[in-house]
Structure 1
Amino acid sequence: MSSKNPRRAAFDILLRIEKEKSFADILIDHELSKDMIKGADRGLLTELVYGVLRRQGTLDHIIGQFSKQRTDKLELYVLLLLRLGLYQCFFLDRVPVSAAVNETVKLAKELAPRASGFINAILRNADRNRDNISYPDRAENPVGYLAVRYSHPAWLTRQWCDQLGVDGAEELAAAMSEPPPFTIRVNTLRTSREALMARLTEEGINCGETRWSPDGIRLNQSGLISRLPSFRDGLFTVQDESSQLAPLFLAPEKGDRVLDACAAPGGKTTQIAQLMGDSGEIYACDVNHKKLRLIKETCDRLGIKSVRTFTMDATTPSPAIKEVTFQRILVDAPCSGLGVIRRNPEGKWSKSPEDLLPQARTQVTILENLCKYLDKEGTLLYATCSTSVQENEYVIDTFLREHPEFVAEDLRTLFPEFAPLFTERGFFRSWPHRDGMDGFFAARLKKIK
């Protein structure tokens, strides 16, 4: 079988993302599964796709410094080729500039032959004048500076500046432009963290303990983890450290009946089962019935028996739980995903600030619908992977105003060992630059009457 050019494959994936709003991880996994890209080229493909998406704003700014034609007026093929070439020139140390330019021009002659000369000129000119590229002034225009220098939408860097100040926002913007850590969670029903780390070392994987999660392990690589014998044996599942903390704050007990209302793909569901010793009942629900298959597959691989799956729209009453109440409810609400944009960098370019209020209204609706299924003295944990106040504190405050039978519990009192991760209101909020994990929020609500 002949091998495939990783740069051409990266171009094809970026093109599909632009045209179809597809997800980078799914397209990359599909391409690599064909086994037509070999050896180090597999890593290069992944680096090019994610790198271009993470640095797209900066790359377009550089293009704008050297192109007489506005970036948004360039043909899509030309724009993608320039991004690919410039990313290699400016952000990939292991690729010589001459090779980056030559390979990009070679690809241009195949895909956009009339523009190959233009692309060659832009790449070479940008390389020669890299020290003369101008950026917005940090003091006069911090929002624009952070947006261009670290490649994020300006509306988002403005939010970060409001939340963290300019210095904190810059630290966050820098972190959000880098690859995220790769974290797994031990299946404690079958092994311990120490035993799994020893097993992973035998399998050639360097790893270390997470700082906060007692069951988390950080790996020095992602690769095809599913091919590891320890994965096939159900000893772990992939889950970011911030996500691993939410079930801990829900604190399910053995024998509880728990509703995981927006459960797919099942990371928190299976962790809840572990915390309960695979006892009691866990109702794992999702609006997309196809995603329930992912939960079932993960439960089967991990050997978990206490989970039942149902299709359910969390915004409306469901026949599946019509006569059922729960001691614990987890609402991992659908959100903008602003806390995980370094994992899904394509998403930051398709979002806008206008998306947040409708999202928040949906989140409130979900809480309004699900709260009636909670037992008296029951616990509801609301969580998102968003950094936005509008999707977090605003949602909780809106819900509590209409529901005096609920109170927000102070996580600082309940979980003092995690105190640095909690806000002054007792909510959980993690920041990638500060905590080394995804941006995440959680509030714990108690039904008092």
Structure 2
Amino acid sequence: MTKFVLRETALHLLTRIGEQGGYSHVLLDQEIKKNNLSRKDGALLTEIVYGTLQKRDLIHYYIEPYIAKQKKMKPWLKWLLYMSVYQMRFLERVPDHAVIHEAVEISKKRGHKGVASLTNGVLRNVQRNGVHNPSEISDPLERLSIQTSHPKWLVERWAKQYGMETTTKMCEANMHHLPMSVRVQPLRISREDAIDQLESDGYQVKSSVLSSQGVIITEGQILHHPLFLEGKLSIQDQSSMLAAEMMDLKPDYTVLDACSAPGGKTTHIAEKMNDQGRVMAYDLHSKKAKLVKEKAAQLQLSSITAQQADSRHLQDKHPEASFDRILLDAPCSGLGVLRGKPDIKYHKKEEDIFSLRSIQDELLHEVSALLKPGGKMVYSTCTVDRHENEEAVKYFLTHHPDFKVDPSFSEELPEPLQKSQGLNEYGIQLFPHQWDTDGFFLTRLVKTASE
């Protein structure tokens, strides 16, 4: 793919994600596969798209003085300027003159001479005159919001919940793409053998301290490696691996995964149980339930049954006290995964947090009745908002006195987490800047055994 076509592709993706709400990780993956991009081209396309999204508001602040007189600008032109300035300011290996030239050519192709002239003028001004420094902004919350391209309402919310220091660290971490981590399928390969094979093939990897199955890829494209293609490795963030690690599983258990797609945690549960016992996996959407089936087949796991169902009505499908263990990885705002899905921070609104919380409350109430006395339930989210995490657990415990936070939960966490800043009486909050992972909340609840 020529660099011109690659930048046209990046512009198409950015406009679609930014204006129509498409999911960046899904659309990027589809585009790379559809065009069979080389590793180098795929990496550059990913860098331009993710980098531009991660720094959108900062880039807008940079160019605002040069576009202030424009009454209305077509979305594609706005995103063309954003992605061009991103390359000029943050990608040293791409010469400014090449970025400007190709941006002008794209403007000519998509618009007219006046649009091409505007594009050239804005980018030449950035090149010659530089940009305003957001450190000049006096309001510290607004300054952090612009510097790290997070909506001000979100910065304000985090600052109230965690203070300015933690909020700053979170926002800064979200400006950098997350290292990829994978999980070995231990019934087919050991972590040691997987690491040896990857290192011998030129990959730079290290063991995760959060999961005995986790491997962090610091250099190398794992999607092309035979271990991944053969289903001996699966992509999963380290924080997400904690869910199955903390379920205290045994091979003969019957386990419910109430919100299972795309199947990373479901298959991890089956692996921890040596593919014995029974794992019932549900998802609200039939297409997503199918993804869980496909994931299980890819990893050669036969103990998983995946079906479509609204888990707010699972008592219609199962009698009370049916399961030894339950995982409720609840639908949430996703504010912990901004490093890998930066578009989320622009699409979410504060009211979304409250509407999602009502769903979380319904799910907790419904599935808790399905747990056997003495059984354990893990509740997890990929967000860092206390309303969806600690406050949801507190509310549940208040209304379900037969449950409590498992007293042994904190002792069984991986050793590095046992003195974590995020550990509290309701569970543990992982922050994106702490372990180079997603932001993730996790707790384990136990149901009082019958007398």
Q: Contact (CA 8 Å) 1:263, 1:269: kept in 2 or not?
A: yes
Amino acid at match of 2:81: L
Residue of 393, 399, 404 corresponding to 2:401: 404
Which residue pairs with 2:432 in the alignment? 432
Q: For 1:123-202, what aligned pairs fall within 5 Å after superposition?
A: 123-130=123-130, 133-135=132-134, 137=136, 140-202=138-200
Gaps of 5+ in 2: none
Which residue pairs with 2:25 in the alignment? 25
Q: CA deviation at 1:416?
A: 6.7
Q: Taking structure 1 as the reference length, what is the TM-score of the superposition?
A: 0.94
Which residue pairs with 1:87 in the alignment? 86
Which residue pairs with 2:383 in the alignment? 386
For residues 37 and 239 of structure 2, the distance between their equivalents in structure 1, rounded to whole angstroms, comes to: 33
Amino acid at match of 1:183: S
For residues 420 and 186 of structure 1, the distance between their equivalents in structure 2, rounded to whole angstroms, comes to: 27
Which residue pairs with 1:44 in the alignment? 44
Residue of 333, 340, 345 corresponding to 1:348: 345
Q: CA deviation at 1:210?
A: 1.6
Amino acid at match of 1:270: T
For residues 309 and 315 of structure 2, the distance between their equivalents in structure 1, rounded to whole angstroms, comes to: 6
Q: CA deviation at 1:323?
A: 6.5
Gaps of 5+ in 1: none
SS in structure 2 of the partner of residue 321 of structure 1:
coil
Q: CA deviation at 1:134?
A: 3.7
For residues 65 and 2 of structure 2, the distance between their equivalents in structure 1, rounded to whole angstroms, comes to: 39
For residues 186 and 39 of structure 2, the distance between their equivalents in structure 1, rounded to whole angstroms, comes to: 34
Distance 1:324 1:407, change over 3 A: closer
Distance 1:70 1:363, change over 3 A: farther
Q: For 1:260-299, what aligned pairs fall within 5 Å after superposition?
A: 260-299=257-296
Q: Contact (CA 8 Å) 1:325, 1:375: kept in 2 or not?
A: yes
Q: Contact (CA 8 Å) 1:64, 1:70: kept in 2 or not?
A: no
Amino acid at match of 1:388: D
Q: CA deviation at 1:446?
A: 1.0
Q: CA deviation at 1:316?
A: 2.0
For residues 208 and 393 of structure 1, the distance between their equivalents in structure 2, rounded to whole angstroms, comes to: 32
Q: CA deviation at 1:30?
A: 1.9
Amino acid at match of 2:193: A
SS in structure 1 of the partner of residue 380 of structure 2:
strand
For residues 237 and 217 of structure 2, the distance between their equivalents in structure 1, rounded to whole angstroms, comes to: 11
Q: CA deviation at 1:129?
A: 2.6
Amino acid at match of 1:81: L
For residues 102 and 242 of structure 1, the distance between their equivalents in structure 2, rounded to whole angstroms, comes to: 43
Q: CA deviation at 1:18?
A: 3.1
Q: Contact (CA 8 Å) 1:3, 1:36: kept in 2 or not?
A: no
Q: Contact (CA 8 Å) 2:279, 2:305: kept in 1 or not?
A: yes
Distance 1:51 1:388, change over 3 A: same
For residues 185 and 200 of structure 2, the distance between their equivalents in structure 1, rounded to whole angstroms, comes to: 18
Distance 1:92 1:291, change over 3 A: same
For residues 20 and 119 of structure 1, the distance between their equivalents in structure 2, rounded to whole angstroms, comes to: 23
Amino acid at match of 2:158: W
Q: CA deviation at 1:318?
A: 4.9
Distance 1:295 1:39, change over 3 A: closer
Distance 1:445 1:267, change over 3 A: same
Q: Contact (CA 8 Å) 1:286, 1:310: kept in 2 or not?
A: yes
SS in structure 1 of the partner of residue 394 of structure 2:
helix
SS in structure 2 of the partner of residue 152 of structure 1:
coil
SS in structure 2 of the partner of residue 201 of structure 1:
helix
For residues 167 and 415 of structure 1, the distance between their equivalents in structure 2, rounded to whole angstroms, comes to: 25
Amino acid at match of 1:200: L
Q: Contact (CA 8 Å) 2:259, 2:282: kept in 1 or not?
A: yes
Q: Contact (CA 8 Å) 2:324, 2:375: kept in 1 or not?
A: yes
Q: CA deviation at 1:319?
A: 3.9
For residues 188 and 258 of structure 1, the distance between their equivalents in structure 2, rounded to whole angstroms, comes to: 19
Distance 1:151 1:109, change over 3 A: same
Q: Contact (CA 8 Å) 2:231, 2:299: kept in 1 or not?
A: yes
Distance 1:278 1:348, change over 3 A: same
Deviates more, 1:8-17 or 1:423-432: 423-432
Amino acid at match of 2:93: R
Q: Taking structure 2 as the reference length, what is the TM-score of the superposition?
A: 0.93
Amino acid at match of 2:86: Y
1:270-310 Cα offsets, whole Å, 9 max, x none, are 11111111111110111111112221122112121111112
Is residue 112 from structure 1 mapped to residue 111 from structure 2 by the alignment?
Answer: yes
| Aligned pairs, number | 445
Which residue pairs with 1:362 in the alignment? 359
Amino acid at match of 1:234: G
SS in structure 1 of the partner of residue 418 of structure 2:
helix
Which residue pairs with 1:206 in the alignment? 204
Distance 1:404 1:365, change over 3 A: same
Q: Contact (CA 8 Å) 1:239, 1:267: kept in 2 or not?
A: yes
Aligned-CA RMSD value: 2.1
Q: CA deviation at 1:426?
A: 5.2
Residue of 304, 309, 322 corresponding to 2:306: 309
Amino acid at match of 1:96: P
Q: Contact (CA 8 Å) 1:186, 1:237: kept in 2 or not?
A: yes
Deviates more, 1:249-258 or 1:175-184: 249-258
Deviates more, 1:23-32 or 1:241-250: 23-32
Q: CA deviation at 1:203?
A: 3.3
For residues 155 and 301 of structure 2, the distance between their equivalents in structure 1, rounded to whole angstroms, comes to: 42
Which residue pairs with 1:328 in the alignment? 325
SS in structure 1 of the partner of residue 22 of structure 2:
coil
SS in structure 2 of the partner of residue 368 of structure 1:
helix
Q: Contact (CA 8 Å) 1:340, 1:386: kept in 2 or not?
A: yes
